[in-house]
């Protein structure tokens, strides 16, 4: 039997290590959803233990199903998970998305931007994507600011399967070969 599992990389930035989630990360997911004040997937915090376990299982399965997914962020040399950043494409969604989440104490330090740059570079350089997109709810001004810091420009406005109309940003290649 041939091993068909995708190669899941670990990405490194100046301050961060980005790795794929595993079953051992349930505690980190529970911690995020217990304190999150942001709307994730249409819900604002307060997920049940079963819902959180399902989200983690979906994030793990996404790598096997699609060959890309969420990375968990840690400061180099530390074990604590600061948040996540990665590429997702839910089956009922019209396109892929760069997305991120951070624990409240990790916000404001540039981690989401730093991790997102690494993920964008990986999507263009390794996956060979022609476009990387992100979208967020209109009221998510912090995410909109990150998209703009990443050089994102609004490509279109689209109504998604959850009934929410969002701006869709295209995020450019970074660096000298962009």
Least confident of 41-45, 65-69, 93-97, 159-163: 41-45
Q: Determine, yes or no, domain membership for 92.
A: yes
Residue 57 makes CB contacts below 8 A (sequence gap 6+) with: none
More confident residue, 174 or 152: 152
Residue 85, domain extent = 11-132
Q: Determine, yes or no, domain membership for 53.
A: yes
Taking the complete model, does pTM exceed 0.95, yes or no? no
Which residue, among 175, 75, 79, has the nearest Cα to 122 in the 3D structure? 175
Q: Determine, yes or no, domain membership for 74.
A: yes
Distance (Å, rounded) from C-alpha 42 to C-alpha 25?
22
Q: Determine, yes or no, domain membership for 98.
A: yes
Q: Determine, yes or no, domain membership for 113.
A: yes
Mean pLDDT, all residues of the chain: 88
Helix (H, G, I), strand (E, B) or coil at 167: strand
Q: Determine, yes or no, domain membership for 165.
A: no
Q: Determine, yes or no, domain membership for 82.
A: yes
CATH number of the domain enclosing 114:
3.40.630.30
Distance (Å, rounded) from C-alpha 44 to C-alpha 101?
13
In the prediction, which pLDDT does 91 show? 86
Q: How many domains does the chain have?
A: 1
What letter does residue 59 receive in the DSSP assignment? H
Q: Determine, yes or no, domain membership for 110.
A: yes
Are the beta carbons of 59 and 23 closer than 8 angstroms?
no
């Amino acid at each position: 039997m041939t091993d068909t599992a995708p190669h899941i990389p670990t990405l490194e930035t100046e301050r961060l290590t980005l790795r794929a989630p595993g079953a051992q990360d349930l505690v980190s997911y529970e911690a995020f959803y217990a304190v999150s004040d942001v709307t994730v997937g249409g819900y604002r915090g307060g997920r049940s233990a079963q819902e959180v376990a399902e989200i983690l299982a979906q994030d793990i399965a996404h790598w096997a199903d699609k060959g890309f997914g969420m990375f968990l962020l840690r400061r180099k040399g530390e074990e604590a998970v600061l948040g996540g950043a990665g590429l997702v494409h839910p089956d009922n969604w019209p396109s892929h998305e760069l997305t991120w989440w951070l624990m409240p104490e990790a916000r404001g330090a540039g981690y989401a931007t730093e991790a997102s740059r690494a993920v964008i570079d990986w999507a263009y350089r390794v996956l060979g994507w022609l476009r990387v997109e992100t979208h967020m709810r209109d009221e998510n001004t912090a995410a909109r600011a990150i998209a703009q810091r990443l050089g994102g420009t609004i490509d279109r406005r689209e109504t998604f399967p959850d009934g929410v109309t969002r701006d869709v940003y295209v995020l450019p290649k970074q660096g000298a070969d962009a």
